[in-house]
Structure 1
């Protein structure tokens, strides 16, 4: 197992990589205090407020920017770590050092610290002021490797577009791809492989990226590597450990099952196909349809037998119309479930020319706001430019237009194309369960107590609560023109915020228009037609 050190923590390929040892520092920015000392510059920089920094520089002169804290770091290190662009520019304006290594064992430079949190504007500013894109610390770690250690795909794409050395390795022979595999960043892995890194390359411990993905336990990362021809999964490293043995040692059971199945397929007779009944019924590892199968089996083996043998015979004459309605609702439920399961939810085409053009344009762009906007729209797994409101689904491994959520009960994403069918399914299920509850109470109150009816009533009531919650939020979100993903994660999307970071929905046109748009009876607003308050659409 490799022993590559992390950029800020000095850890090897183990369970966790620490970041800076002073993450929880408490900053006193009261530089007007008469007890102010030169060390106040570090508190001021960490606070992210420009004015205290300027006052400290005025009071002590430019030399204060050359000071080191107790761990050997410069003010530029902390400005880069916190993503404080204006403070870094202030340091540059006052001729402060922006590329000095820390006085410690690893000797990291400010650009490495900027990569920990993926600060593209900071890195861009450093590169504009002469910092090398391939600066290394004492362990040979480059900015690209750091961005891959921390899963900063946008920054990695920016660095690659600016010409970062893809083939550079750290002192243990690990490439950026090794680190992305070890951390389980599958989208980042695809970007690196697409850009030219080999998935077969080994480090000095004889470990290829697939070994490190097995240590991490990332099934998605291993599958990503297996898509490339001749990636060997049974080759041992210098310690005699194969990927399967590494996964077994860390009890990554889904990875173990997948690797065993792949090895059995490799060593078995090609003319005797092996049937994996578990995979057939519940889906392959990492993409199982257990919830959908539970619903179907529960209805066919429990719900309907109780209805036909316990409920129908004793309530038919008293509730004939309700029974006819109940049967009709059930037939409609299965019809809309079939549509919701089988319909394409709105998958975005993969490997598009727009994606390749956008990656190339990063090299020629000098406006980092434009760079961030472009890179933020790229999906390196699908190799596509994502429209607003779309999102990559990790389960389906595809980007979905107007992504709402991935629903295990339909074994599919809910997106633009099938959202109406999903809401109809929730409506049919809710209606069916209401009928079942009415019948169950009627039997218990007017006919006789039956333990099976009671158990069925409790189960029905539980699922009725869930289905009604789903139905309520589905109707509510249709009325306000939001998806579940947007409602829960609006803070991540600048297009859903106004100029001060508060929620703002540029797609809402009133309840009636929103409902018509949800039902595909009204054309949705295009990006050029919507009014955005906090984002530049590129």
Structure 2
């Protein structure tokens, strides 16, 4: 990726404030005005945000730089950090220097608008975690979700939808278009389908007064409970106590009743698993409006080691907490769960750190019970003296005279194959100390990738220790052994901050439009159609406008890529 050389005015401006050839702590200021501005109103602090130089920004701020300094277009340092995806820089100046993370620029666009527009999902997570107003509409009537939809960034849309409400999906801009319609208008079909589906899910969820919705909140646990009770009753009545014209021996009788005991014990584990706390992490219930009066609890959370290491996915934008590694927010329970495995509708609960032992024991007991009861049913029906000796004759005789036994065996086999599959999967994962969620998202979680990018489970201590910890303690330990690897920084030249130079370099690509143009990367001819030709140029300048009524900004808009 190539970038133009800095204008001489900007180079002189930066060189007056910071000598980047020296270590930051040795950089002399010589009484320079750290709040000096260039022709666009930008300070050296703005420039440090472009490259994410936290140490340089720290030096400038200690020397008296204004963290809330805005340029001619209303861009503060937080806007610039969001525009360039400098999440760590943004986190630092907000947590330590109380920079305003939700201040709008001259066009009514806050940093979260820019993060959504540029597709920086981690920056969006941080801003939402800090309580950024996601429903703010700019001068075009667009929310951050509108801009994410225009750009066709699925991850950004997903983060905003997960943190939002139904109203965020139905809000219209000044032209009457919702985010889904804007995505469809830009030919982002996957985004449009995702947003429409999210809207339908929200509409079904909002109809919570219906009997079906109220019943669905209980999950399938009552149904599974009734099925197990019914099977135990049929087994006892029609198989153990049924009339087969033959008496059971004592060992076989003990074997038959063992199935009842195991099934009953499984019901106990089933009840404990469905009622037990799976490992919920307490939410931050502080009122976000009162957090501005004293030290914000959310900002204290930004000093968490996971955040300092750059694991921005550990920020839960719903619970407003920094969740531990291996935990996940369950959309069904609306809570974060430690060692989240999966949400099981059959037990109407999440499976996590505190109830996975009960869940696995429930599977083991029920599988054992199904094997014993199935074998007992077949032996009892085959041992009936009145049944024919041929297989076909025996099958017909059993179906007519022992229909309940046939029904039991069919149901038992049907459930057995599903439960045994789940049991084997869970046993395999326990032996490797990994969860279902981690297996499904192994490519997304950085702590599950080794230096070469291959799958690596840092929590696997061997089958013996993994199994002993699980069965003796009830859970596996979270002892991280992740090896941090330094990735080479992407080669990046200085980014042009001057707007006049951009216009000069781009005179061959004018964009005819007006001041109501909607988007800088896929800018429409006018705000009514939201259509334009897609440009594939590299962005220049500090904080390009999403739409401005001046010639240079039109040239800038034509340069921004899709």
Say whether 1:383 aligns with 2:335. no
Say whether 1:324 aligns with 2:257. yes
Residue 426 of structure 1 aligns to a residue whose secondary structure is helix
Q: Which moved more, 1:441-450 or 1:194-203?
A: 441-450
Pick closer, same or farther for the CA change 1:214–1:439 going to 2, 3 Å: farther
Say whether 1:420 aligns with 2:357. yes
Q: Which moved more, 1:330-339 or 1:461-470?
A: 461-470
Distance across 1 between alignment mates of 2:277 and 2:204: 32
CA contact (8 A) 1:219 1:254 kept: no
Say whether 1:203 aligns with 2:138. yes
Pick closer, same or farther for the CA change 1:416–1:235 going to 2, 3 Å: closer
CA contact (8 A) 1:201 1:208 kept: yes
Per the alignment, residue 283 of structure 2 pairs with 350
Say whether 1:341 aligns with 2:274. yes
CA contact (8 A) 1:379 1:385 kept: yes
Cα deviation, residue 534, structure 1:
0.3
Cα deviation, residue 124, structure 1:
6.5
CA contact (8 A) 2:112 2:134 kept: yes
Distance across 2 between alignment mates of 1:432 and 1:461: 12
Pick closer, same or farther for the CA change 1:233–1:314 going to 2, 3 Å: same
Cα deviation, residue 330, structure 1:
2.2
Per the alignment, residue 282 of structure 1 pairs with 216
Q: Which moved more, 1:204-213 or 1:388-397?
A: 204-213
Distance across 1 between alignment mates of 2:106 and 2:351: 46
Instruction: Between the two structures, name the one with larger relative contact order (CA 8 Å, sep ≥ 6).
Output: 2
Distance across 2 between alignment mates of 1:260 and 1:214: 23
Per the alignment, residue 342 of structure 2 pairs with 405
Per the alignment, residue 482 of structure 1 pairs with 434
Larger Rg, first or second structure (1 or 2)? 2
Cα deviation, residue 393, structure 1:
3.1
Distance across 2 between alignment mates of 1:243 and 1:374: 29
Say whether 1:515 aligns with 2:488. no
Q: Which moved more, 1:310-319 or 1:382-391?
A: 310-319
CA-to-partner distance for each residue in 1:312-367, whole Å, 9 max, x for gaps?
535695564444222222221221111111111112223299973555559xxxxx
Match of 1:433 among 370, 392, 406: 370
Cα deviation, residue 297, structure 1:
5.4
Distance across 1 between alignment mates of 2:120 and 2:243: 58
CA contact (8 A) 1:358 1:374 kept: no
Distance across 2 between alignment mates of 1:374 and 1:399: 16
Per the alignment, residue 255 of structure 1 pairs with 199
Cα deviation, residue 427, structure 1:
0.7
Pick closer, same or farther for the CA change 1:194–1:491 going to 2, 3 Å: closer
Per the alignment, residue 58 of structure 1 pairs with none
Per the alignment, residue 534 of structure 1 pairs with 483
Q: TM-score scaled to structure 1, two decimals?
A: 0.53
Cα deviation, residue 411, structure 1:
2.4
1:44-83 to structure 2, matched below 5 A, reads none
* Structure 2 unaligned residues grouped into runs of 5+: 6-19, 21-45, 61-66, 184-191, 286-294, 383-390, 486-562
Residue 519 of structure 1 aligns to a residue whose secondary structure is helix
Q: Which moved more, 1:404-413 or 1:328-337?
A: 404-413
Per the alignment, residue 295 of structure 1 pairs with 224
CA contact (8 A) 1:186 1:381 kept: no
Cα deviation, residue 165, structure 1:
6.6
Distance across 2 between alignment mates of 1:183 and 1:459: 54
Residue 281 of structure 2 aligns to a residue whose secondary structure is coil
CA-to-partner distance for each residue in 1:427-484, whole Å, 9 max, x for gaps?
1221232234324544476954439766764554343233223323333433443333
Q: Which moved more, 1:492-501 or 1:208-217?
A: 208-217
* RMSD (Å), alpha carbons: 5.9
CA-to-partner distance for each residue in 1:134-157, whole Å, 9 max, x for gaps?
999x9x996665688xxx987875
CA contact (8 A) 2:221 2:346 kept: yes
CA contact (8 A) 2:134 2:164 kept: yes
Distance across 1 between alignment mates of 2:114 and 2:331: 20
CA-to-partner distance for each residue in 1:23-54, whole Å, 9 max, x for gaps?
xxxxxxxxxxxxxxxxxxx7xxxxxxxxxxxx
Pick closer, same or farther for the CA change 1:185–1:469 going to 2, 3 Å: farther
CA-to-partner distance for each residue in 1:276-335, whole Å, 9 max, x for gaps?
22122212xxxx83x54553455467x467646765535695564444222222221221
CA-to-partner distance for each residue in 1:51-99, whole Å, 9 max, x for gaps?
xxxxxxxxxxxxxxxxx6xxx889xxxxxxxxxxxxxx9xxxxxxxxxx
Distance across 2 between alignment mates of 1:493 and 1:212: 27
Count of matched residue positions in the alignment of Structure 1 and Structure 2: 398
Cα deviation, residue 421, structure 1:
0.1
